[in-house]
Structure 1
Amino acid sequence: MTDNTLRSVAVERTSTGHYTATNARGGTISFGTGSGEQSDTEFTPVELLLAALGGCTAADVDVATSRHAEPDRFDITVTGHKITDELGNRMTDLHVTFSVTFPDGEPGDRARAILPRAVKASHERLCTVSRTIETGTPVTTTVTDV
């Protein structure tokens, strides 16, 4: 692996059950456990996973279709079931639903025609998030500074 393949975020605890992730470019996003005073609007880690799945494939599809026509609507819903079984806590039945419309006319017709191919290409090859989930990548955890 090389430095140009490495991606990272730093996660800092801001209070009990609340965290801020910072990327290498200085962007931040706050999230939490879904309980406590700030839980009304904070994303949970599972919701961030769903957002990453939808956002990754959205970016692929948006680039492919919007070069032909600007969409009138471009909405994605990502769902799944959080379960606990003999394998522990996990998400199952992940589903990404696209609801995209384009204006009438030749450019919109071209965008509509490639939409299904773009969604398929994202799912099968391009979206790093869905490809990682589906291929199953081992996760290593380490404790330092104890």
Structure 2
Amino acid sequence: MANVWVERTEDGGFRATNARGAEVRIGGGDDEGAFTPVELLLAAVGGCNIVTVEPLTAQRGHRLVRLAMTVEAQKVESNRLGPVTVTYDVELPSEAAGEVFRAVAGRVHEKYCTVSTSLQDGTEVRLELPESGAS
């Protein structure tokens, strides 16, 4: 099971912490040094893809010279994003590496990135609230 703890901090900001102690600051669009929740979602899509593509490409004998990406989406309603677009920026050591990279990146996007496939499949988000008077 994956989980994070999200809380308001003493300075009025917000923080997400994972079980290993890593932290990410969360804030509004004007909060310097913090990600907005939408930016975190886009980072999760990009991170899931890139941390899966890189080792699979390397295992097939092709270490890419540069591997980066831009992940973007527009709000189509005040509470809804339109399509999320992942655009890779790679420097390939050879045409053979390019073929391997494109095949791996396509499979990762379609099958292996938990974040992307969850978004595409419309994973249910459940809400559990404490009973009245509980803390």
Equivalent residues of 1:61, 1:119 under 8 A apart: yes
Question: Does 2:121 align with 1:135?
Answer: yes
Note the 1:1-146 alignment, pairs <5 A: 6-14=1-9, 15-16=11-12, 18-35=13-30, 39-67=31-59, 68-84=61-77, 89-103=79-93, 108-144=94-130, 145=134
- TM superposition score normalised by structure 2: 0.87
Amino acid paired to 2:33: T
Q: How many residues align?
A: 130
Identity, % of aligned positions = 37
In the alignment, the residues of structure 1 paired with residue 106 and residue 63 of structure 2 have an alpha-carbon distance, to the nearest angstrom, of 20
Q: In the alignment, which residue of structure 2 is the partner of 1:3?
A: none
1:61-113 alpha-carbon deviations (Å, 9 max, x no partner):
111112323322111000101132xxx6011121001111122xxxx444222
Equivalent residues of 1:76, 1:98 under 8 A apart: yes
Note the C-alpha offset of 1:118: 0.8
SS in 1 for 2:83: strand
Note the C-alpha offset of 1:124: 1.0
Amino acid paired to 1:69: H
Moved over 3 A (4+): none
Note the C-alpha offset of 1:12: 1.2
- TM superposition score normalised by structure 1: 0.81
Quick check: which one's strand share is greater? Answer: 1
Amino acid paired to 2:90: V
